[in-house]
């Protein structure tokens, strides 16, 4: 049986996104989608699978209740598993093993756009906030 390696491509990322690079959380400083390279912590990293020297791997950081809490979202007091602030709300979409959250249904209201969809990772939340004109920095 063949297993496909799941690798993130540089063109899926934006400057300011948080991702795991070789298992370590890093904030993206620059993106070169043509050569599939990124810069994080002043280090140039190659994500292309076809380069013989490329061992760098970027993966998403799962969005968790702890990350939401640290960034100002609060759990709904009505007993539902809902997290919200004045611009967005999050509800768990699926549960994985041991009741961990696999993804979140998200609605974000902002100008110039709004976002309504399912996200799994911190960098997806960051991109959705940017799309909606919300310049909130995410902390890990």
What would the two tokens of residue 102 be?
């696999």
Q: For the chain, list residues with pLDDT below 70.
A: 1-7, 49-55, 78-80, 94-100
pTM of the model: 0.82
Residue 1: CB atoms within 10 Å: 2
Separation of alpha carbons 120 and 41, rounded Å: 24
Residue 113: CB atoms within 10 Å: 13
DSSP class of 100? -
CA dihedral 105, 22, 30, 120 (to 10 degrees): 0
Q: Give per-residue pLDDT as tens, 106-137.
A: 999 988 899 999 999 999 999 999 999 998 88
Separation of alpha carbons 44 and 23, rounded Å: 16
């Amino acid at each position: 049986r063949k297993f496909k390696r799941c690798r993130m491509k540089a063109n899926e990322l934006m400057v300011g996104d948080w991702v795991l690079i070789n298992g370590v959380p890093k904030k993206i400083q620059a993106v070169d989608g043509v050569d599939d390279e990124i810069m994080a912590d002043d280090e140039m990293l190659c994500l292309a699978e076809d380069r013989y020297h490329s061992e760098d791997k970027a993966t998403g950081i799962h969005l968790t209740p702890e990350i939401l809490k640290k960034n100002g979202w609060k759990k709904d007091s009505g007993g539902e598993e809902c997290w919200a602030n004045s611009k967005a709300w999050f509800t768990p979409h699926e549960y994985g093993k041991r009741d961990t959250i696999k993804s979140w249904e998200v609605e974000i209201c902002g100008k110039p756009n709004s976002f309504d969809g399912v996200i799994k990772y911190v960098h997806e939340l960051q991109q959705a906030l940017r799309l909606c004109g919300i310049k909130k920095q995410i902390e890990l």
